[in-house]
């Protein structure tokens, strides 16, 4: 019996389709995704592109927030150390105003105050991840430098710009205050107040004015710390929001393109069986045609 010769193209087409089905099912099992290319599901694929873009942006924002929160915490901790140093300076100023102190006693207090000023200069030059955090946007150089030609003895080399960072779609967060505002604001200049206190000890006059100036600088700095507390709260709130959005995007991604692994494994086994059956049919067909030819 001669087999219909037109049957072979049908078998080859069936084999090609079976192999494509095996490839698709294998990829689905390997990736855990039901949509691995646009042709798998054009509508879902378009939504997945949008989802992936938003996920990428969220990841960048979250990474940025880790650094931002570290910088804000470093700044707040630094300012806490400065306020502690100023409290000590106020105590020394009150002590120095005691009219019974000897010249050597006053000189010792002046020396300690100079040490406090040096300490605060060092704190005002604090950096985080290689960037100076109190220099405005001039983050690559120390903002405060000792300079005997200015009244305070300390020169500010930063600028007065507040750094802002994007932490969400259209959401920018201020992450610093310039050192000029924190440490050298007119009427609240920490370094000038300390220098005047040292000079008061050396001249044994002007104590009340000098102590008042240090207190004013202390009060001003304490008030400015509210900025960092507010910024840390905003950064934490945005982190919480982005983490929730990250979870939602992951769930949406799985809903759009996630594979049912049990069903995918079943399909893979079925397509492999179909492929083997088609190969067997082709082999049998070829043998039958050869037998007919030899008769």
Is residue 80 in a domain? yes
Q: By the 8 A CB rule, do 11 and 233 touch?
A: no
| Residue 286 belongs to domain spanning | 262-295
In a domain? residue 104:
yes
Least confidently predicted of 38-52, 105-119, 179-193, 251-265: 251-265
pLDDT at residue 45, rounded to an integer: 66
Residue 29 lies in a domain: no
What is the token pair recorded at 64? 């940025």
Mark whether 275 and 226 lie in a shared domain: no
In a shared domain, residues 210 and 122: yes
Tokens of 70: 């570290």
271 and 205 housed in the same domain: no
Q: How far apart are CA 141 and CA 193, in angstroms?
A: 25
DSSP 138-205: -TTS-SEEE-TTSTTSEEE-S-SPPPEEEEETTEEEE----HHHHTS-TT--HHHHHHHHHHHHHHT-
pLDDT band at 250 (very low <50, low <70, confident <90, very high): confident
Residue 57 has pLDDT above 60, yes or no: yes
The per-residue pLDDT for range 161-203, each reduced to its tens digit, is 999 999 998 899 999 999 999 999 999 999 999 999 999 999 9
Half-sphere exposure of 263 (CA within 13 A, CB side): 5
CA distance 35 to 247: 20
Flag the least confident range among 89-103, 121-135, 144-158. 89-103
Whether residue 18 lies inside any domain: the answer is no
How far is the C-alpha of 37 from the C-alpha of 41, rounded, in Å? 8
- Whether residues 245 and 131 share a domain: the answer is yes
Q: Which of 152-161, 175-184, 264-273 has the lowest mean pLDDT?
A: 264-273
**What single string gives the DSSP state of each residue in 30-73?**
HHSBS-SSGGG-HHHHHHHHHHHHHHHHHHHHHHHHHHHHHHHH
**Whether residues 135 and 189 fall in one domain:** yes
**Domain match, 196 and 229 both:** yes
Kindly state whether residues 182 and 241 are assigned to the same domain: yes
Q: Over the chain, what is the mean pLDDT?
A: 84
pLDDT band with cut points at 50, 70 and 90 for residue 98: confident
The pLDDT of residue 268 is above 60 = no
Strongest mean pLDDT among 50-59, 167-176, 272-281:
167-176
6 within domain boundaries: no
Q: Are residues 291 and 146 in the same domain?
A: no
CATH number at residue 75: 1.20.1330.10
CA dihedral over 14, 16, 22, 27, signed as positive or negative: negative
Shared domain for 83 and 163, answered yes or no, is yes
Q: Is the CB of residue 76 less than 8 Å from the CB of residue 232?
A: yes
Shared domain check, 281 and 229: no
Residue 212: inside a domain, yes or no?
A: yes
Q: What percent of the chain has pLDDT over 90?
A: 62
User: Torsion angle, CA of 92/94/100/101, rounded to 10 degrees?
Assistant: 20
235 assigned to some structural domain: yes
Pair 144, 178 in one domain = yes
Give the span between the Cα atoms of 109 and 58, in whole angstroms: 54
Residue 42 belongs to a domain: no
- Are both 113 and 239 inside the same structural domain? yes
Which tokens is 223 given? 């008030």
How many separate domains does the chain show? 2
Q: Report residue 53 CA to chain centroid gap.
A: 18
């Amino acid at each position: 019996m001669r087999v219909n010769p037109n049957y072979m193209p049908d078998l080859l087409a069936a084999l090609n389709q079976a192999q494509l089905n095996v490839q698709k099912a294998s990829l689905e099992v390997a990736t855990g995704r039901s949509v691995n290319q646009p042709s798998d599901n054009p509508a879902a694929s378009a939504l997945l592109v949008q989802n992936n873009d938003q996920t990428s942006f969220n990841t960048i924002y979250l990474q940025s927030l880790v650094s931002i929160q570290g910088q804000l915490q470093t700044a707040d901790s630094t300012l806490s150390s400065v306020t502690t140093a100023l409290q000590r300076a106020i105590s020394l100023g009150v002590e120095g105003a005691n009219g019974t102190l000897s010249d050597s006693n006053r000189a010792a207090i002046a020396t300690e105050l100079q040490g406090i000023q040096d300490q605060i200069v060092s704190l005002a030059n604090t950096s985080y991840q290689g960037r100076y955090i109190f220099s405005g946007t001039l983050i690559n150089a120390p903002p405060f430098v000792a300079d005997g030609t200015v009244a305070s003895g300390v020169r500010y080399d930063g600028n007065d710009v507040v750094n802002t960072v994007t932490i969400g779609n259209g959401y920018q967060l201020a992450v610093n205050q310039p050192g000029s505002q924190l440490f050298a604001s007119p009427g609240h200049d920490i370094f000038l107040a300390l220098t005047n206190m040292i000079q008061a000890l050396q001249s044994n006059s002007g104590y009340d004015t000098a102590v008042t100036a240090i207190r004013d600088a202390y009060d001003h700095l304490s008030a400015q710390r509210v900025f960092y507390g507010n910024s840390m709260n905003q950064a934490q709130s945005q982190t919480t929001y982005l983490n929730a959005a990250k979870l939602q995007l992951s769930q949406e991604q799985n809903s759009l393109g996630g594979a049912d692994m049990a069903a995918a494994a079943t399909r893979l086994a079925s397509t492999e069986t179909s492929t083997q059956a088609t190969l067997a049919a082709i082999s049998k067909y070829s043998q039958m045609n050869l037998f007919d030819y030899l008769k």
